[in-house]
Amino acid sequence: MPRSRRPALTAEALQGFGYLDHFRGLFDHLHRCGTARDRAGKRELFFDQYAALLLLYFFSPVLTSLRGVQQATTLQKVQQRLGVRRTALGSLSEAAAVFDPALLRPIIADLAARAVPVVTGREAEALRGLTAVDGSVLPALPRMVWALWTDPQHRAAKMHVHFDVLKAVPCDATVTPAACSELEQLRATLQPGRLYVLDRGYAGYWLFRAILDARSSFVVRVKEDVAYTVAEERPLRAAAQTAGVRRDVVVRRLGTPHHADDVRQALRLVWVATGPARADGTPEVLVLCTDRLDLDAELVALAYRYRWWIELFFRWLKCILGCRHLLSAHRNGVTIQVYVALIASLLISLWTGHKPTKRTWEMCCFYFSGWASAAEMGTHIAKLQEKVTDSS
């Protein structure tokens, strides 16, 4: 059967420009980026405009491809609100290779700093700076030769995200080929004053030392058969036992005597039962390593449980916000798209004062498609903020 053509995009299908107006200044400083080679002054699409178009893409469900974004530039209302001209598809593709995505990272950090905590109280105070770090794969096309993965037929990019757990927002990210070292990526992006919570894939003694040298701390899952030298066996409080803690040990060193002592300080191992997970009904026991000797054992266990939030965030970013559909085959273009997706998620968090959810995203879609009014969108946000107030 012949392929049915999609109806032409209309301005009525893109209603939610009001919310974009509040943050138009975010990208102003990007305007001159990528213009050094444009000596003739013929460039018609600038970085700030390109970023704004991608932001519109993430907030408008009617835009599903780069061609849809190109069609949006033909609409007078889009041109007026975003300051763009009618843009050719080739210009949009070329822009992905010209603009520097690194200029978007400070915007992510700035928006994350504005976010308010969604977790408060004594436990949050003890876990101040809790930051989950993990990587997630974005499948790519075989022609994207830079996106090395398992073989020439299977290509992928990987986003390495730092997630501020207590605020429930991303605070930094990098994008690389999937075949890369996650540990090296983390070492290159370490920040002071953080409590990094990491899965077993990040268990490298040299990385522990790098985190400490960066004036931060860590809670990392290690292998069950990890070698260690006991310095002190700590008694378990009732609260720790209730949280599933089975053992709490201060160790003089990690590793066998045949290995170099990379960490060079006392650490702590905490064994935590996660509940019946095996076929025989016995619980799986995780071994957590941390340099925080001052934390109660139940808080060490809680910090690692919070690590799951970054997995939920990846699901939100790829499955609901739609970041897994790549608009560009160029590495710069993929990185820009990921960064703008993180900015879009941050904006939702700032508007609502709440973690992004599917219901909130659906409401945004209704609003940007013209089915919900600004008043109805405001009512939805007000209800979310009331829930945050009640829970605090």
Q: Report if residue 1 sits inside a domain.
A: yes
pLDDT at 16: 46
**Minimum mean pLDDT range among 84-93, 98-107, 254-263, 340-349:** 254-263
Kindly give the residue spans of alpha helices, DSSP state H, lying in 232-373: 238-242, 297-306, 308-315, 331-352, 358-368
280 or 186: which leads in pLDDT: 186
Phi/psi of residue 170, nearest 5 degrees: -75, 145
Quick one: pLDDT band at residue 376, thresholds 50, 70, 90? confident
Q: In the predicted model, is pLDDT for residue 322 greater than 90?
A: no
Summarize pLDDT for 96-137 with one digit per residue, the tens: 888 999 999 999 999 999 999 989 999 999 999 999 999 999
* Claim to verify: residue 89 and residue 115 sit in the same structural domain: no
Q: Report if residue 195 sits inside a domain.
A: yes
Measuring CA to CA, which residue among 47, 37, 77 is closest to residue 60? 77
346 or 8: which leads in pLDDT: 346
Give percent above pLDDT 90 in the chain.
58
Angle, helix 331-352 to helix 89-98, in steps of 10 degrees = 90
Mean pLDDT of all residues belonging to the chain: 87
pLDDT at 10: 52
Mean per-residue pLDDT for 58-85? Answer: 88
Q: How many domains does the chain have?
A: 3
Measuring CA to CA, which residue among 262, 149, 282, 133 is closest to residue 207? 262
* Claim to verify: residue 3 and residue 13 sit in the same structural domain: yes
From 45, 69, 99, the end of a domain falls on: 99
Q: Determine the structural domain holding residue 89 and report its residue range.
A: 1-99
pLDDT at 2: 45
Task: Give the H or E element holding residue 56.
Answer: helix 47-59
Quick one: pLDDT band at residue 14, thresholds 50, 70, 90? very low
pLDDT at 41: 58
pLDDT at 238: 96
Mean per-residue pLDDT for 172-186? Answer: 96
* Claim to verify: residue 61 and residue 108 sit in the same structural domain: no
Give the CA count within 13 Å in the CB-facing half-sphere of 42.
Answer: 4
pLDDT at 35: 66
Tell whether pTM > 0.95: no
* Claim to verify: residue 31 and residue 159 sit in the same structural domain: no
* Claim to verify: residue 146 and residue 191 sit in the same structural domain: yes
Report the phi/psi class of residue 177: left, alpha or beta, with left for phi > 0 and alpha for psi in -120 to 50.
beta
Mean per-residue pLDDT for 43-67? Answer: 88
Q: Report if residue 224 sits inside a domain.
A: no
d(C-alpha 26, C-alpha 247), whole Å? 49
* Claim to verify: residue 131 and residue 179 sit in the same structural domain: yes
Mean per-residue pLDDT for 298-312? Answer: 96
